Amino acid sequence: MRILSKYLAKTILSSTLLVLLVLLALYTFMDFISELDDLGKGDYSISSILAYIALTMPKRIYELLPVAALLGSVIGLGNLASQSELVAMRAAGISIAGINKAVVIVAGILMFVALVIGEGLRPITEQSAREMQSVAQTGTVGSRSEYGFWTRDGNHFNHIDRINADGSFSNVSIYEFDEQHRLRILTKATSAEYQQDSWTLTDVVQSTIDESGVEVHSVSHARWRSQLNPGMVNIVVVPPEFLPVWDLIDYVSYLKANHQSVAQYELAFWSKLMMPVSTAVMVLLAVPFVFGPLRSAPIGGRILAGALIGIGFHLFNQSFQHMGLVFGVLPWLAASFPAMLFAGIAWWMNKQVR
């Protein structure tokens, strides 16, 4: 039994790897063609595009893994069925539950792979890719919008116009309000650099506002103590879905402490937790394709059905999460409902197999 389980797992994994390589080649080529539109912006050359494509490879693997797991499992088990190997296994006394055990092993392996790529490789390489691309095209690390980005630190609202390649800021504005929400101090600086546990502002102009009027002071340098640090700056620059779980936890705590919206980051957190589960669900869906209503269908029909199910899951998952943000659905529910729905479908379909 152990030998047959290993054989089944090896067959499914090899088919999944083959499907993943084919999908990866296709999507990489499409991304390469898309990046050619920006060729010539600044120092963005062919070598820069190839480096960017290479650095974003873990992102594509992570996104394609659920679909590749479903198609690979369908193809692997389908080939075994076409060669009557599954029939021989069942004639030897191996039940559907026994075959499912081998499939569960594969699901566990792919869950681990998704976890390593999603939390280990993807955040690092994606951040490096975005920084490299932004530096090559503009000479600066891209901020969240063309107008810079805003952060809140207690009663301080901070606007940073640009993040430079070395991690420093350009054109910083700090608005300090009192407890009655009245603007009291406006501080502007041409640059800011992080040193030890605070920021050093350069060419500072500070305007103090009270009932008697506005008083303006100018100094060459000043210290700015803030909860904002370079790590949090990277979080703001990189979209939440590309952040590791521990960074999301830290930033959600920071946002909650400053009474800011956390729905987008909580949704990203729960989505990352559910991604390995989604991969496992896709693998478990493969068994009914071989032993269920499609057992007599040719391999091409099973592949088409598997592709439609995989694409349908991906579209439904993305749509439901976005609708969850729009309509205020609890982030954990918006992230987990599609995977749990398809898990229920997989369980029901497996129960119908005899």
DSSP 12: H
pLDDT digits (tens, 9 = 90+) for 37-87: 888 877 888 998 999 999 999 989 988 888 888 888 888 887 877 777 777
- The secondary structure of 239-295 as a DSSP string is -GGGS-HHHHHHHHHHHHHTT---HHHHHHHHHHHHHHHHHHHHHHTHHHHHHSTTT
pLDDT digits (tens, 9 = 90+) for 118-131: 888 888 888 788 77
Amino acid letter, residue 40: G
What's the CA gap between 85 and 48, in Å, rounded? 49
DSSP 118: I
* Predicted pLDDT of residue 287: 75
pLDDT digits (tens, 9 = 90+) for 154-194: 788 888 887 765 667 888 999 998 888 888 899 999 988 88
Name the more confident of 308 and 20: 20
pLDDT digits (tens, 9 = 90+) for 220-262: 888 888 777 776 666 556 677 777 888 788 878 877 877 777 8
The full set of domain ranges for the chain reads: 2-139+263-352, 155-226
Residue 177 in tokens: 């309000």
- Reported as a pLDDT band with limits 50, 70 and 90, residue 143 is very low
What's the CA gap between 339 and 319, in Å, rounded? 13
Phi, psi dihedrals of residue 294, rounded to the nearest 5°? -95, 15
The alpha carbon of residue 204 and the mean position of all alpha carbons in its chain are separated, in whole angstroms, by 38
What's the CA gap between 221 and 189, in Å, rounded? 9
CB 337 within 8 A of CB 320: yes
Buried b / exposed e along 252-278 (16+ C-beta atoms within 10 A): bebbeeeeeebbebbbbbbbbbbbbbb
